[in-house]
């Protein structure tokens, strides 16, 4: 059963102006429609052509299959976490990576809110139990970084828990890398107008309406709070062992391709075709320190 979401017009301050956003109105406001793609400083004026996207995606997925075959032979473990605001495109990016992989050794982890028992455990415990075994590729749709974003913004953790997390997580991730896991941290970034457009799409597309949650609505007036937490998270938890890779994802097609290229370029696997993979577009994918400048 799809949860009913109460949606009333919300006053939003955006671009120095106060706007009334009525998500129930089937017509997308022009102040969103005119600026969605370029919002948040996105570097391209047009989305990537769908045919070009599909052709390149197929070639890159062949490389991902090669990577997975090499994992099976070598026992290598790969783990990637995907973070970002609501509607940033995490699920679609994860599916693009996993689409043609063998599901027996590639899986998605998308944990629900912790149970009473889990709330009494070490914070990282329920995540650690899902880590990859020999030859596995594991993708996290959100991760322990809930404690660096949604939890403090929405009041789901104490300030003390938040501060303790930021101090501990670099050491935790250092252990992951030192144990030999190929570890990727992706933050998918979108502009505000693009987020509003995607929320609007969810409300009016019957195939997407299940994606619109009370948390989405609650986030409408917390953009600045989430930005503050994002920037601090990127600054304090980006390390040489476990760096953050920021993906500008207003155009999901470009974002998915460049994200996959980043993974493939970072791992030396048998049969790797560097000509097919190509170089990562630095306008779309960058280290967090460059993004924050």
Please list the pLDDT of the chain residue by residue as tens digits (293 residues).
445 555 789 999 998 899 999 999 999 999 999 999 999 999 999 999 999 999 999 999 999 999 999 999 999 999 999 999 999 999 999 999 999 999 999 999 999 999 999 999 999 999 999 999 999 999 999 999 999 999 999 999 999 999 999 999 999 999 999 999 999 999 999 999 999 999 999 999 999 989 988 888 888 899 999 999 999 999 999 999 999 999 999 999 999 999 999 999 999 999 999 999 999 999 999 999 999 98
| Per-residue CA distances from 137 to 27, 140, 177 (Å) | 41, 10, 15
Give the SS3 label for residue 11. strand
Question: What's phi and psi for 155, nearest 5 deg?
Answer: 80, 25
User: Contact 166/267 with Cβ under 8 angstroms?
Assistant: no
Contacts of 142 (CB under 8 A, 6+ apart): 81, 82, 83, 90, 110, 111
Q: What is the pLDDT of residue 7?
A: 73
Q: How many CB atoms lie within 10 A of CB 196?
A: 28
Distance CA 13, CA 49 (A): 33
Q: Of all residues in the chain, what percent are helix, strand and coil, respectively (each to 5)?
A: 50, 15, 40
Return the number of other C-beta atoms located less than 10 Å from residue 115's C-beta. 10
């Amino acid at each position: 059963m799809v949860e009913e979401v109460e949606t009333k017009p919300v006053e939003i301050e955006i671009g120095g102006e106060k706007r009334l956003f009525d998500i129930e109105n089937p017509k997308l406001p022009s102040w969103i429609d005119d600026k969605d793609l370029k919002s948040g400083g996105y570097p391209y004026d047009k989305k990537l052509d769908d045919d070009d996207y599909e052709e390149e995606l197929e070639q890159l997925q062949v490389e991902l299959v090669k990577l997975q075959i090499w994992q099976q032979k070598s026992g290598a473990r790969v783990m990637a976490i995907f973070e970002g605001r609501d509607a940033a495109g995490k699920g679609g990016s994860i599916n693009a990576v996993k689409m043609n992989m063998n599901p027996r050794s590639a899986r998605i982890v998308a944990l629900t809110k912790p149970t009473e028992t889990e709330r009494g455990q070490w914070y990282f415990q329920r995540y650690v139990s899902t880590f990859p075994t020999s030859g596995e590729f594991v993708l996290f749709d959100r991760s322990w970084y809930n404690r660096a974003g949604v939890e403090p913004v929405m009041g789901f953790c104490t300030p003390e828990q938040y501060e303790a997390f930021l101090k501990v997580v670099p050491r935790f991730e250092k252990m992951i890398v030192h144990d030999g896991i190929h570890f990727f941290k992706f933050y998918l970034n979108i502009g505000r107008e693009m987020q509003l457009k995607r929320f609007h799409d969810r409300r009016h597309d019957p195939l997407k309406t299940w994606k619109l949650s009370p948390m989405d609505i609650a986030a409408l007036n917390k953009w600045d709070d989430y930005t503050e937490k994002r920037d601090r998270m990127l600054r304090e938890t980006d390390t040489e062992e476990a760096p953050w890779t920021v993906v500008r994802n207003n155009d999901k097609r470009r974002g998915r391709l460049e994200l996959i290229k980043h993974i493939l370029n970072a791992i030396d696997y048998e049969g790797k075709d560097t000509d097919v993979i190509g170089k990562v577009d630095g306008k779309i994918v960058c280290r967090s320190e460059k993004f924050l400048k």
